[in-house]
Amino acid sequence: MNNLRPSSLQSMTLLIRQYLIQNGKMFLVSIAVFIAGVFVVLYSIQRYTRFDTWTHKNFVTVFMPVFIVLAVLYAGTSFPGLRSKDRAIQYLMLPVSTRQKFWFELFTRIVLFVMLMPSLFWVSFYVEGQLVALVHPEFTFQSFSFLDGFNGPSRYQNILVMTFVISHAMLFLTFPFFGATVFMKNQIIKTVAWGFGLLFGFFILFHDFIETIPKQHMQEFTGFIILLNIALVVLAYFRLKNKQV
C-alpha cells in the first residue's frame, strides 16, 4: 500500500493546487480590499486630526490594532476544509500526510501573514501619505524606511521589550490557529470568547503578579508567552492528527 502513496512533492503540489482553486481569487481580492481599507482608515484618521503631521510613530499606532484584527480573522479561518462535515471528509481523505497539511496551513496562515501583512501595510501607509500630502498642502508626511516604522518610542528599541511585544502579538495568530482545529463552526467567535474567558480568569487569579510583570518578571513572562505560542502550534498539529485518525 505504501508504494501507491504519492511522493511528498506530488502531495504538496496537490495541496497547493487545491488551495489555489478554492482560495486563489479570494486571496488576491483580500489583498486589494486590505489596501483599500488601509487607505480609508488612514484618510479618516487624518481628516479627524485635521491633517496633522504624520511620522513613523503614527505608523505603529495604527499598525498594531490593524494587525491584531486581521491576525485573528485570517488565522481563525485556518483549515477551511474542516468547516463542514462533507468538506472535512474530503479534506481528510486527500492523499496528503497530516504533517504536510499542517505545515502548509502554518506557512500560509502564520508565516506568510507575518511576511506580507507588515510590508503591504507599510507600502499602503507610505503611498497614502504621499498622495494625501499632494492633495492637502497642510498635511506633512515625513518619509521613513520600513524598519524606521517600527522604531517608535525608545522603550520599543529594547530587545527584551521588543521580544515581549512580538511574542504577545504572535498570540493573536497562534491562538486562533489552534482554535480553528478545535471548533468546526463559528470558530472565530468561539475562539475570541474562549480567549477573553481565559484572560479574565488569569487576571482574577494572578492580578498581583500581573502588576509586577513590567518591573520584575518581564523576562520570565516573555519566555512563558514564547513557550505558549509554541505549545498552541503543537496542540493544533495533534488536533489535526486526531481528526485525521
Q: Answer yes or no: are the C-beta atoms of 185 and 83 closer than 8 Å.
A: yes
Residue 197 has pLDDT above 60, yes or no: yes
Q: How far is residue 158's CA from residue 161's CA, in Å, rounded to a whole number?
A: 5
Read off the pTM.
Answer: 0.81
Count of domains forming the chain: 1
Q: What percent of the chain clears pLDDT 70, i.e. is strictly above it? A: 85
Q: Which residues contact 1 (CB under 8 A, 6 or more apart)?
A: none
Q: pLDDT: is 217 or 135 the higher one?
A: 135
- Find the mean pLDDT for residues 11-17: 75
Question: What is the per-residue pLDDT for 211?
Answer: 61
- Find the mean pLDDT for residues 102-126: 91
- What does residue 186 show for φ and ψ, rounded to 5 degrees? 50, 40
Q: What's the gap between Cα 93 and its chain centre?
A: 28
Q: Answer yes or no: are the C-beta atoms of 45 and 62 closer than 8 Å.
A: yes
Residue 53: give the domain boundaries.
2-244
Residue 32 has pLDDT above 70, yes or no: yes
Closest by CA to 149, choosing from 54, 43, 7, 12, is 54
Question: What is the per-residue pLDDT for 176?
Answer: 94
